[in-house]
Structure formats: C-alpha cells, structure tokens
Amino acid sequence: MAFKTGVSERDEWSYSPAVGVGPLRFGMTVDEVVEAAEVLGLTKASECARDHAIFSPTWKVEVHRRGVAPSPLAVTAYGSQVVGLFCIAVDAVQGPQVAYDGLPLVGRDLSELESDAIAYAEAMDVHLRYTPEGYAGPDDSGVVMRGQLVGRVLRSRPLFMVTRDGAHTEWDSMPSEEYRVNGQSTA
C-alpha cells in the first residue's frame, strides 16, 4: 500500500509508542532533549506559562532547522519537572517525516490523510480515531493529530505523547500552546 505525503524530501524519524520519536525519548530532561535535538538543528529552551496548577511547571524546547537565519521551526518538545519529556510536536512543513506502521503522518493534507487512514484501518483490520476537531489518525493513545494551516491547505501536525503528571489521558496532557483549531490557537 503506497501513501502520498505531498511534502518534499525530509528527514525520517521513527516512532515507538511510549518510547519516543527519532532521537527524543519520553522522560528526558531539558538538557538531554537539547543535546539529542542537535542532530536536526538549533534549539531554544524556555518555560511555558503555567495554565493549570495541577501540573508541575512545563518547559518547551523549540528545534529550528540549520540554515539561513531565521531558521524555520521543525519540532517542539514539551517536558515537565516531574516526568520529563512528555510531548513531541512535529511541524507540518519543516519537521521530520514520522510514520505510524508505514502510514506517513507529518505534513499531509488532512483529507488525504483521512482517506489513507481509513484504507489502512480496513486493510489491517484495526481502528482509527477522530480528534474532537475531526482530524483522523491512528487509534493509538500516543498520537494526537492536529491541523496546521499551510497556505490554503490544512496539513497534519501530529503530537506524540505520554501522559504527564496529574493527567489521566493524553488529551489532559496536551500543552496549552498546542490547543489549535484549523491552525489557529484557542488558548
């Protein structure tokens, strides 16, 4: 089964549920994330605004591709003081390509991804799931599909996650910076 990605050549990272994506492993400290992310580009670490008192303070590491300044954002990694790295967001345009069991997830036209996800689910006799915004993706508790507006097309921007401290699900764990509907922030 062949899938069209609609994106140019990009790095390919592997995804292992509950383990990590590419060189990033869930549970890493901010320093470990910065060191591991240097394979892709330049990093900038900062603290996130504390929106929910139930969670320990959160930090994010923005990874920009090497190249002409200003370099585009490729990956955003989120961690907490208690559990370390818990969320890896991959940019639809600049991020590495990450597949789920051969199904490319990054930078896809969301309607094409939905068609391919349905075909995959039927061929493999597995389920797919929809986010509250209506984005289709693998039925894996570690993958949350998000949309990123690129020109006039809404493209896939997956979040790879584990549950963070004080949360019951990945939906509860999602960093407030990642709440987006149709590419626009709702936070």
- How many C-beta neighbours within 10 Å does residue 75 have? 26
pLDDT in tens, 98-129: 998 888 999 999 999 999 988 988 898 888 88
CA dist 39 to 29, 33, 78, 111, Å?
17, 11, 18, 32
Tokens of 93: 């345009």
Residue type, 4: K
CA nearest neighbour of 77 among 97, 95, 53: 95
HSE of 153, CA atoms in CB hemisphere, 13 A? 14
d(Cα 181, Cα 134) in Å, to the nearest integer? Answer: 10
Give the pLDDT band of residue 1 (cuts 50, 70, 90). very low
pLDDT in tens, 26-46: 999 999 999 999 888 888 888
